[in-house]
Structures are given as structure tokens and as C-alpha cells.
């Protein structure tokens, strides 16, 4: 029996070159040079980078593509964004949220983004977003993995029905327990919310992903409580602290105690560089803080760090394109992650690291993994980030589900006829 798919002469993210990838029944069966086998479909990668798909572990799909509804965010600030979301929320209907989310998923598939963890606001007694995104999760299952987080946007204690709604959302099938401790009325309430929400997750056998310390206030220390509760409840490896921007501004001595606690608890850290750089530091005059959490320092303590996208064309952010290479590019710059090793890490921060944070099964390029792959118009991870490389082929469970022609511009310069290619070669599909 022939293979379903054979990819030839691939460069892999770990630096191996000239690798052939054999696919059968939706799984990778072999990765090595010069595989001799028949295949229904072949892709000549020609030393282009073949990667497992991009993964976005921090997104808001209930709000995406709502730009301009009911009006635009004229100031571009977080506060006007929150006010706008408050105006939009009562107007939401399930069909419209589904339609926008599906359109976003199409864009994600085109960009090779095949796993997304989205927060869904449960501070709406109708649970419109929950109903809509549960439907989208099922409909998109053949193409991408969607995880939902029950997110009490207006505060678990501060919003009167949030606790009840969060339980209802979990009963309906939402995957992960969310929170927003820095938005509660007091530090004590914030810490209590972390404790209560982690206990709910432990009782139900669920994962936790909290918006945690998304502020420039160096005294916002809910990550400490999150690490403590993770340790106390035996949730190691199952908890994500998202944003962690206060850590940017914290006292260095305190951070030297905090980082080993995060590592000990196996809490994953997710920075959202595109959003952090535009939202943080807004109360500063000059110098203005960047607000990105301490990525390099957490890595050196062995903490798994990923980059998320957070927002695309919604009340908070008017730009974005489901392009995780744009996110990696921003993280590289804002975090000054410019050593060769750190630049390669930035590619992992939008692929393997978020997959680990989400607990995705069968992710990777080893034999036995799902045959979910992206062929990029770049030779290696650093070039992929530099070019925000074209996704030439996107493969899901061994089937090509998206193709984009290689980028190439014909020149009309009389003295210098020819063409400019974003990269030197382009792979070719052979029927």
C-alpha cells in the first residue's frame, strides 16, 4: 500500500536537513533521509522548512473580527476597548459570533495555525459566546484544535453572576478554567479568586489559564499565588499564567525568589508581545516601560514560555492577521531576544512551547505524531520569522488543506530585468 503523503528534502526546526517525511493514515510514520516508497501525493520541499503547525495559546475568539461594531475604538486605548466590549456584549447573537469565528478559523488555517486556545467571556448571563464557540469547536474539529477557557472578564467576585456562569460554562463543555485576579476589587479578593478557581479545576480534573497581573503595577503578585495553588493542589504542568506583565516592573530581589517558585510549580508562562507593547506603559511619561514579561529570565529557570496573539480586529486591537510569525517577530524585538539561540526559541514560542502549555496530544514531527505540518517559504526558523514566510502547504492529518503560491515579484526595471524572490526556491506538489 502506498503512503498517503511523502514530503521530500525538508529542513526541520531542530536543524536537520534533507529529511523525508512519510505519512500514512493521518500519522507521521517515518522521518529520515532518502525514503524509498510510493506515495499518493508528494511535496518537494527542496530544503524549505517543514514545521509542526503554529499554535496560539492566548486568543479571544468571541470578540475577533468585530472591528467597528458598534463603533471604532478611536483612542486605541485599553479603557476605551473595555468600554466598547461592554457596549458590544449585549448586542451579540450566537449566529453572528459563530460566523465571525468561522471566518477567523479559515484565516488561521490559511496561516498554518491549527491549534488555538481561546478565552470566552462568561460575564454575560446568556452565555452567548460559550454557546457559539462550542459550536465552532465541533465544526472546525477536522481542521483545527480549539480549546475554550471560561473567562470571567469582569471579575470572578466583582461581577455578580460570574461564579455561577463559570460553572454553567464548564458544565456545557468548556475545557479550561480562567480568571483575572488583578481585576478583582482588592489584592485579597484577587488571591482568593486564584484559590477558588484552582480548586474548581482540581475538582473537575481541568486545566487552568488565567489572565494574571496584566498591569504595570509591580505589586501585582498574583502569579505567586497561582504558583502556590498549583503546587498545593498537584496541578503541576496543567496551569498557565498569561501576560504576567507586572513582572516587567517588579523588584529584582523579589523576582529572584519568584522565578524558582514558578519553575517548581511547572506553571507555563504566556506573553502576548503585540498586545503587551501597545497596552502597557500607558500611564508612563518617559521613559516608557515595554511591559513584556521576563522571557529570557524565566527560560533560564526552565519555565516553558510561549507567545500568544490575544487580539485580532476587535475592540482592543484593530490590526492582526492570524500570523503567529508576526507575533514571534514582535516578541523577538520587544524582548531583545537576538542571540541565535533566542531567535530560534521565538519560533518554538509559537509552535512547540504553546503545544506543551495546552497539553496537545500527538503534536510534533516524531513518528507516531499527527501528520499536521506546514511547509514554509523559508529555509530555517530565523528566516521564517524574518520573512513572515508564506505558508506554501498546510497539512492536517495527512491531507493538504491550504496552499499559497510562493511569493515572487516580477521587476520592470529596463536595466535590471528579472524577479525578486522572498526565498530562493519554492516547493512543488507532484500529483
Q: How far is the CB of 168 from Zn ion (least distance, A)?
A: 21
Residue 164 annotated among the catalytic residues of the structure:
no
- Piece of the chain touching Zn ion by CB under 5 A; list 103-111, 222-230, 306-314, 342-350: 306-314
3-state secondary structure the chain: CCEEEEEEEEECCCCCCCEEEEEECCEEEEEECCCCCCEEEEEEEEEEEEECCEEEEEECCCCCCCCCCCCCCCCCCHHHHHHHHHHHHHHCCHHHHHHHHHHHHHHHHHCCEEEEEEEEECCCCCCHHHHHHHHHHHHCCCCCEEEEEEECCCCCCCCCCHHHHHHHHHHHCCCEECCCHHHCCCHHHHHHHHHHHHHHHHHHCCEEEEEECCCCCCCCCHHHHHHHHHHHCCCCCCEEEEECCHHHHCCHHHHHHHHHHHHHHCCEEEECHHHHHHHCCCCCCCCCCCCCCCHHHHHHCCCCEEECCECCCCCCCCCCCCCHHHHHHHHHHHCCCCCHHHHHHHHHCCCHHHHHHHCCCCCCCCCCCECCEEEECCCCHHHHHHHCCCEEEEEECCEEEEECCCCEEEECCCCCCEEEECCCCCCEEEC
Per CB under 5 A, contacts with Zn ion among 11-70 are: none
| Min dist. Cβ of residue 310 to Zn ion (A) | 5
Please choose, out of 85-93, 136-144, 185-193, 303-311, the segment that lies near Zn ion by the rule CB under 5 A.
Answer: 303-311
In angstroms, the CA 129 to CA 120 distance is 6
What is the contact mask toward Zn ion in residues 256 to 295, using x (rule: CB under 5 A)?
A: ----------------------------------------
The smaller minimum CB distance to Zn ion, of residues 76 and 362, is found at 76
Task: Determine the interface stretch with Zn ion among 182-190, 222-230, 305-313, 386-394 (rule: CB under 5 A).
Answer: 305-313
Give me the least distance between CB of 211 and Zn ion, in Å please.
5
Which residue has the CB atom at the shortest distance from Zn ion?
A: 310
CB closer to Zn ion, 7 vs 322: 322
Give the binding range for Zn ion (CB under 5 A) out of 153-161, 168-176, 304-312, 416-424.
304-312
Q: Based on CB atoms, which residue is closest to Zn ion, 41 or 211?
A: 211
CB of 99 to Zn ion, least distance (A): 22
User: Least distance from C-beta 183 to Zn ion, angstroms?
Assistant: 12
Q: Which stretch binds Zn ion (CB under 5 A): 26-34, 155-163, 255-263, 308-316?
A: 308-316
**310 versus 314: smaller Cβ distance to Zn ion:** 310
Nearer to Zn ion, 118 or 230 (CB): 118
Residue 367 CB, nearest approach to Zn ion (Å) = 36
Nearer to Zn ion, 310 or 326 (CB): 310
Report the alpha-carbon distance of residue 150 to residue 11 in Å, rounded: 39
Q: Which is nearer to Zn ion, 117 or 299 (CB)?
A: 117
Q: How far is the CB of 307 from Zn ion (least distance, A)?
A: 13
Count, residues near Zn ion per rule CB under 5 A: 1
Query: Which listed residue (214, 229, 326, 379) is catalytic?
Result: 214
Q: CA 11, 13, 19 angle in degrees (round to 5)?
A: 30
Active site positions, annotated:
214
Q: Which residues bind Zn ion (CB under 5 A)?
A: 310
Amino acid at each position: 500500500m502506498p503512503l498517503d503523503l511523502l514530503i521530500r528534502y525538508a529542513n526541520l526546526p531542530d536543524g536537520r536537513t534533507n529529511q523525508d517525511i512519510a505519512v500514512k493514515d493521518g500519522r507521521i510514520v517515518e522521518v529520515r533521509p532518502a525514503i524509498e516508497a510510493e506515495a499518493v501525493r508528494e511535496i518537494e520541499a527542496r530544503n524549505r522548512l517543514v514545521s509542526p503547525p503554529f499554535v496560539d495559546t492566548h486568543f479571544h475568539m468571541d470578540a475577533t473580527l468585530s472591528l467597528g461594531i458598534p463603533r471604532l475604538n478611536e483612542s486605541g486605548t485599553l479603557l476605551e476597548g473595555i468600554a466598547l466590549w461592554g457596549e458590544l456584549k449585549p448586542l451579540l447573537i450566537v449566529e453572528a459570533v459563530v460566523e465571525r469565528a468561522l471566518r477567523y478559523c479559515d484565516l488561521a488555517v490559511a496561516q498554518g495555525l491549527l491549534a488555538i486556545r481561546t478565552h470566552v467571556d462568561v460575564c454575560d448571563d446568556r452565555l452567548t459566546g460559550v454557546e457559539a464557540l462550542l459550536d465552532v469547536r465541533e465544526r472546525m474539529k477536522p481542521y483545527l484544535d480549539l480549546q475554550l477557557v471560561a473567562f470571567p472578564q469582569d471579575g470572578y467576585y466583582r461581577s455578580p453572576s460570574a461564579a455561577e456562569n463559570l460553572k454553567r460554562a464548564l458544565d456545557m463543555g468548556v475545557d479550561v478554567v480562567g480568571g483575572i485576579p488583578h481585576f478583582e476589587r482588592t489584592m485579597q479578593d484577587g488571591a482568593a479568586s486564584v484559590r477558588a478557581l484552582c480548586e474548581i479545576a482540581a475538582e473537575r480534573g481541568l486545566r487552568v489559564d488565567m489572565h494574571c497581573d496584566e498591569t504595570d503595577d509591580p505589586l501585582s503578585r498574583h502569579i505567586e499565588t497561582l504558583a502556590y495553588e498549583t503546587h498545593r493542589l498537584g496541578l503541576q504542568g496543567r496551569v498557565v499564567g498569561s501576560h504576567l506583565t507586572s513582572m516587567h516592573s517588579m523588584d529584582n530581589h523579589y523576582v529572584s525568589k519568584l522565578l524558582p517558585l514558578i519553575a517548581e510549580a511547572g506553571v507555563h508562562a504566556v506573553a502576548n508581545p503585540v498586545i503587551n507593547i501597545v497596552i502597557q506603559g500607558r500611564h508612563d511619561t518617559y521613559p516608557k516601560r515595554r511591559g513584556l514579561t521576563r522571557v529570557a529570565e524565566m527560560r533560564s529557570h526552565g519555565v516553558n514560555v510561549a507567545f500568544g496573539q490575544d487580539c485580532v480586529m476587535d475592540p482592543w486591537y484593530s490590526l492582526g492577521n492570524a500570523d503567529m510569525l508576526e507575533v514571534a517577530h514582535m516578541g523577538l524585538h520587544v524582548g531583545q531576544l537576538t542571540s541565535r539561540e533566542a531567535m530560534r526559541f521565538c519560533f518554538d514560542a509559537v509552535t512547540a512551547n504553546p503545544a506543551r502549555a495546552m497539553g496537545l496530544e500527538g503534536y510534533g514531527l516524531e513518528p507516531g505524531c499527527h501528520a499536521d505540518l506546514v511547509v514554509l517559504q523559508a529555509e530555517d526558523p530565523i528566516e521564517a520569522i524574518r520573512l513572515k514566510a508564506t505558508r506554501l502547504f498546510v497539512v492536517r492529518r495527512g491531507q493538504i488543506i491550504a496552499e499559497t503560491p510562493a511569493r515572487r515579484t516580477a521587476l520592470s526595471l529596463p536595466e535590471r530585468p528579472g524577479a525578486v524572490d522572498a526565498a530562493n526556491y519554492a516547493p512543488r506538489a507532484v500529483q
